Amino acid sequence: MDIFGKIKEKLSNEFIDIVEWLDYTDDTIAHRFERYQNEIKNGAKLIVREGQTAVFVNEGQLADVFGPGTYDLTTKNLPILATLKGWKYGFNSPFKAEVYFVNTHLFTDEKWGTKNPITLSDERFGLVEIRAFGTYAFRISDAGKFIVDIVGTDNNFTNFEINEHLKSLIATRFTDTVGEANLPIELYAANTTELSDTCREVMAPEFESVGIGLEKFYIENVSMPEDLKKEIFEYSRIDKLDLDKLTKFKTAKAVEAAAKNEGGTAGAGMGMGMGFVLAQQMGQQMNPQLGGPQAPQAGAAPPPIPVAIQYFYAVNGTQQGPVSFDQLKALFANRTINRDSLVWKQGMANWTALNAVEELKSFLGGNTPPPLPNS
């Protein structure tokens, strides 16, 4: 073979006549076809397999996009690239262009989760913290946009590289969505399906803006502190119980707890004192000589029986009551109501926040007398 034949053979070896990509991995999203400075031959075959999209980029500009199929690369099926290169009358020589193959199959079982607790405001429990985690599935819906906006010049782009960005996006939008939902705290764990669908609808446009389709989104678990769980379980039984009996039970528990908190002799003294009072009251009822009830004297009218003040209160926009002062205090102690809960009693013109009613301010604590005046 003469010198010209060798040169011709060498040049022909540098021209690429088949452009294809065989994916042997499960995590590659985009792969740049390596031509090692070689030029693509005029009339070369482009093979795009099912689940792939081929994207041609010329000097940083998006050119032609091909779906699954086999193509002969000519100006007829490379209209945008032909325009970019100025091939007005067709091309007969090899050309250079970056070719990216994009994997368009469904990427499933991708994990997401909240790195930090999400703080929510609940009407009954105040500020609470929850965590959530789950899975999602996505696919590349616009290969050209994805290459330009995300991949850039990366020659082998994997789902690990995009997942960190997607998980941050999900966590942010999930926080916004649950905050705007304004559900009672116990309903977040009970309505994960509806909440999942809502989150997917909110997040889908964000994914589409970079050429990614959010196909599935699942919330698998919403967790909260154990002490909050116990309170929620307790409140869930309120509708099944008689409110008056429950209030009395709570009052008794509060008195018992107060006696224990006093500790030692003081606690014992409180218990003994209460016992003496009860015993004295029972004795007076049984023995008139000890101050118990006596037969009314002729012509003597008994004094009027004092009327205990009854209070009404609101929970979740619903009127409850009436209850006595002590019962209301017990409801405040067990967090059925709080300082901002609305209350009303006979004589009040309107419903008023508990912390604005003078005799109820003692519930809030801090009843410290002012300093004595200087003598």
Structural domains in the chain, sorted by start = 3-103 (no CATH), 107-230 (3.30.479.30), 241-260+309-365 (3.30.1490)
Confidence of residue 173 (pLDDT cuts 50, 70, 90): confident
Q: Are the C-beta atoms of 199 and 133 separated by less than 8 Å?
A: no
Q: Are the C-beta atoms of 110 and 137 separated by less than 8 Å?
A: yes
Q: At what angle do helices 264-286 and 243-262 cross, to 10 degrees?
A: 130
pLDDT above 60: residue 336:
yes
**Cα(217)–Cα(170) distance, rounded to whole angstroms?**
10
Q: Are the C-beta atoms of 28 and 85 separated by less than 8 Å?
A: no
Question: Which residues, 6 or more positions from 312, have their beta carbon under 8 angstroms from its beta carbon?
Answer: 319, 320, 321, 322, 343, 344, 345
Three-state DSSP class for 336? coil
Confidence of residue 350 (pLDDT cuts 50, 70, 90): very high
Amino acid 35: pLDDT: 67
Q: Are the C-beta atoms of 97 and 56 separated by less than 8 Å?
A: yes
Q: What is the pTM of this model?
A: 0.55
DSSP classification of residue 309: P
Span 128-155, pLDDT tens digits: 888 899 999 999 999 999 998 888 878 8
pLDDT above 50: residue 6:
no
Number of residues assigned to the chain? 375
Span 26-67, pLDDT tens digits: 789 999 987 666 788 888 899 999 999 999 998 888 999 999
Q: Which residue stretches of the chain are H helix?
A: 3-13, 79-85, 143-146, 159-181, 186-190, 192-208, 226-236, 243-262, 264-286, 325-333
Task: Provide the CA 328 distance to its chain's centre, in angstroms.
Answer: 34
